[in-house]
Amino acid sequence: MKKNENFGEWYNEIVDTAELSDKRYPIKGMNVWTPYGWKIMMMIDSFTRRELNATGHDEVNFPLLIPETEFKKEKDHIKGFDSEVYWVTKAGDNELDVPLVVRPTSETAMYPMFSLWIRSHQDLPLKIFQIVNTFRYETKQTRSFIRVREIHFFESHTCHATEEEAQCQIEEDIVMLKKISKELCLPYFLLTRTDWDKFPGAHYTVGIDTVMPNGRTLQIGSIHHYRTNFSIPYDITYEDLDGEHKHVHQTTYGMSERLLGAVVGVHGDDSGLILPPPIAPFQIVVIPIISKKEPELVLDVCKMVTDILTKDGMRVKLDDRNMRPGAKYYDWEMRGVPLRLEIGARDIENKLISFARRDTGEKGTIDLSTLTASVDLLLNDISFTLYSRALNVQESMVTDITDMSEAPAETDETKDDVILRFGWCGSEKCGHTFEETTGYKILGTPYGADPVKCECVVCKAQSIKQAYAAHTM
């Protein structure tokens, strides 16, 4: 299957053949994490944990079920999730007095507890996170990692004394995002969502969107400022220095298994998956090229190379299966292993190792005496190349328009799409007119960007805001 001919089918095939997940489980949209896919997800989670721990967040684990009475305390929040939640209404033979919601997200599970935990200004800031599965009844066509009904994700929740301190938290979240996405070699747009598209209950939402090679955007995460929108209904207050009781200001930041979906879609090619070295379960595969000449020696050198690289902290697989090398190459290429080392009798004579890069297909040799340093350099360069390549694709898809008539007509998923950038006065009326006329969804305005002098694409009023719009995955 060719990636640029039918992206959707190519994506499904890669997920299957690389054995990332098994969607034959008898509930639609609830897939089995098979070992290889789960290993990659755990690597991604380890970077999330690293960043959250380094910024003083504590990991917690809240119950999966939320009483209806707590779930319904914030009215916008319920409206936003009502059609998506799974309910538990029976236990054994008994109807429950209070029906339970299977968490679609954990605000309403956590905030009743926050109101017990927070007493004084000394309890602030409160910064916690959890990495759990959430459940949303997705009615559109499901797709592994991208649109599922059981979602593996992390969510951080923070409480602060003031709105400004909560705002600082958002800046910290953006720094963490930068570090996590760097490991995945994923570029992204950071866009303040429109008021009609923000998270239910949020003061504002910053969406994190990456671009798939078919030009459709994929939201891989989001950051929200809640102000006191939840702390008022959940009565989360603290006593300040003057003995006055005040409501806390809250934020959340979350990303999901869509990160893995983005890695598959953005980096993969017609030969299969291409994994960024930081998240590859095996960064290097060592393949012995056995000939009649000195087969024992070749295998011994392969073992030695594997041991040295492993000892130096790399994840290495020695493939000594009794198969043709070509069949092994095919296998590991499909699974996206970033670097392949091949060692034969002639290489050993010359004190060299042959390598092949998964990202560019480039082949060459490295000197056995500088093994670790050379391999390290190659892995870093693979990361750099993957990121630059993805950034080029993302930038090349942005098309500036000054009138709605310039927006290309809606295409189906097999065709190349574009991302539109245009002036917008910011009014909801013009926003809706734009979406209805062009069929593109407004993703928002660049978060923290400098003002740009422009004209609204709908009403032609002078503006200083540009907006982005796209078709979404």
Applying CB under 5 A, the residues found at the interface with Zn ion are 425, 430, 456, 458-459
Q: How far is the CB of 334 from Zn ion (least distance, A)?
A: 49
DSSP letter for 370, please.
G
Residue 278 in tokens: 């930081």
Measured from the Cβ of residue 214, the count of other Cβ atoms closer than 10 Å reads 23
Residue 427 C-beta: closest distance to Zn ion, Å:
5
We find the least distance from the C-beta atom of residue 442 to Zn ion, in angstroms, to be 12
Label each residue of 455-469 as H, E or C: ECCCCCCEECCEEEE
Backbone angles phi, psi at 316, to 5 degrees: -125, 140
CB 435 → Zn ion: shortest distance, Å? 13
In b/e form, how buried is each residue of 144-175, taking b as 16+ CB within 10 angstroms?
A: bbbbbbbbbbbbbbbbbbeeebbeebbebbbe
Contacts 24+ apart (CB under 8 A), 84-91: 84/136, 84/137, 84/138, 85/135, 85/136, 85/137, 86/135, 86/137
Residue closer to Zn ion, measured from CB, 218 or 457: 457
β-pairing, 150-160 with 189-192? unpaired
Eight-state DSSP code of residue 328: H
CB of 194 to Zn ion, least distance (A): 13
Q: Which is nearer to Zn ion, 234 or 422 (CB)?
A: 422
Residue among 60 and 459 whose Cβ is closer to Zn ion: 459
Contacts of 108 (CB under 8 A, 6+ apart): 66, 70, 71, 73, 74, 77, 101
CA–CA distance, 304 with 55 (Å, rounded to integer) = 40
Q: Say how far apart CA 18 and CA 433 lie, in whole Å.
A: 43
In the bound state with Zn ion, the residue whose beta carbon lies nearer, of 23 and 432, is: 432
Nearer Cβ to Zn ion, position 2 or 460?
A: 460
Residue closer to Zn ion (CB basis): 176 or 425: 425
Find the shortest distance in angstroms from Cβ 463 to Zn ion.
7
Positions of E strands within 136-242: 150-160, 189-192, 204-211, 217-227, 237-239
Supply the minimum distance, in Å, between the C-beta of residue 404 and Zn ion.
11
Rounded Cα distance between 253 and 262, Å, is 18
Question: With respect to Zn ion, which residue has the nearer C-beta, 134 or 463?
Answer: 463
The nearer residue to Zn ion, 171 or 400, going by C-beta atoms, is 400
Number of helices (H), then strands (E), in the chain:
12, 25
Q: Which is nearer to Zn ion, 442 or 456 (CB)?
A: 456
- CB of residue 409 to Zn ion, shortest distance in Å: 22
Q: How far is the CB of 428 from Zn ion (least distance, A)?
A: 10
